[in-house]
Each structure stands twice: as C-alpha cells, then as structure tokens.
Structure 1
Amino acid sequence: MLKVLSNERRLLIVCILHMGEKSVGALEEMIGLSQSALSQHLARLRRDGIVKTRRDAQTIYYSLNSGEAEKILACLHDIYCDEDAC
C-alpha cells in the first residue's frame, strides 16, 4: 500500500477522498489532471483495493475502501499538518 501511496498524485486523490465521496469530474477539477491520467491513477487505486466505485446513471463516484489507508492518512496528517495548515 505504501508503494501505491508514494505517488504524489495518488496520495492527493486519497487525501481528497478521505473527506468524502467524489465524482470523477470533481476529482479532475480539484486535482488538475487530465481525465486520462486521473483514470490511470484511479484504476491503480481500485486494483489495489484502496478505493471503490459507485455508479449513479452515467456518473461514477469514488470513495475510500480501505481502513488501512484511512489510518495511514490520519498518521500522516498528525505528523505533517498543523491545525493552521490543514
């Protein structure tokens, strides 16, 4: 799991999803990646069981699927984010 999260973009995706479920379009706007690049990162996260999907009509939503990822994010937040920064 740490290898997957060592990529800056994937870590950012997981951090955003830690705040709640997001559509692919919302993630694309928040992260600033092309749809193609974002899809590749999301596919890797899904393949490794870190995120899960939910479809509503033509919109796909992503959310965290891993309690382990949530624990890692909480630990990183405690170490690297002070209350003013996060």
Structure 2
Amino acid sequence: MHPSPVDPVPDDEHARIAASTFRMLSDATRVKILWALFIEEASVNVLAEAVGATPAAVSQHLAKLRLAGLVESRKEGTYAFYRASDSHVRRLLAETLSHAEHVTGAATEDDPHSY
C-alpha cells in the first residue's frame, strides 16, 4: 500500500500554471537568463554576454519570459533593463540546479554513464 499524498491532486488551473512554468524553464538559455536576472537586473546585451547567446536570441527568450510573468522590465532612456519577478520560481530554479549539480557530481564520482 502506498502512502497517500499530503496534498490532494491539484485542480486543473493550478496544474496548467505549473506546467506552463516548467515549459518556460525547459530551455537551457532561458534557465541561464532567469538565473542571471535573479542575481541582478540587466540589459539584453549584458545578458547575451553572460549566457553566451546573441542579443536577438536573448530578446526572444525575454519576450516569452515576460509573457509568462517571470520577468519584468523597465525603461531608462533608450535602454530596457530586465529583472526576475517571481521568488517562487527562484526557489524552484535553485532546487532544480542543485539537483543538476547532484546528478553531475554523482555521475562523475561513480560512473560517467550512470545517468
């Protein structure tokens, strides 16, 4: 017999929002952009250099992240500066990156083909 979950199964709306958030985090460049924005506010060019992508690609990713409500922007003259807007997502991303570190550490310590 399996123990019952602490919380009931999420309703459709909460499940849809969670899936949408995971979709936004399913791209490695978006993960890097979002993490950089949790550290500090930045422009497209600064982000592009930080994550190793073109400014055009970063702009496209930022547009998706903004539509999802994960990134906010402000204008200063002709420049736009972006920042991460959701502390819940920061915790989710930090936990996921911690898991990635655990997986890669475990794989290199034991057997590089174990995952």
User: Do both share a fold (TM > 0.5)?
Assistant: yes
Alignment of 1:38-57 (within 5 A): 38-57=58-77
Runs of 4+ in 1 over 6 A off after TM superposition: none
Of all paired residues, the percent bearing the same amino acid is 30
Higher relative contact order (CA 8 A, sep 6+): 1
Structure with the largest fraction of strand? 1
Q: Which residue does 2:43 correspond to in 1? A: 23
After TM superposition, the structure 1 stretch with the greater mean CA deviation from structure 2, 60-69 or 38-47, is 60-69
Alpha-carbon RMSD: 1.5
Structure 1 spans left out of the alignment, 5+ residues: none
Normalising by structure 2, we get a TM-score of 0.65
Deviations 1:6-32 (A, max 9, x none): 101100101111111111111011122
1:74 CA displacement: 2.4
In the aligned structure 2, how far is the partner of 1:66 from the partner of 1:7?
Answer: 18
1:46 CA displacement: 0.3
Normalising by structure 1, we get a TM-score of 0.84
In the aligned structure 2, how far is the partner of 1:51 from the partner of 1:80?
Answer: 23
Aligned length in residues: 82
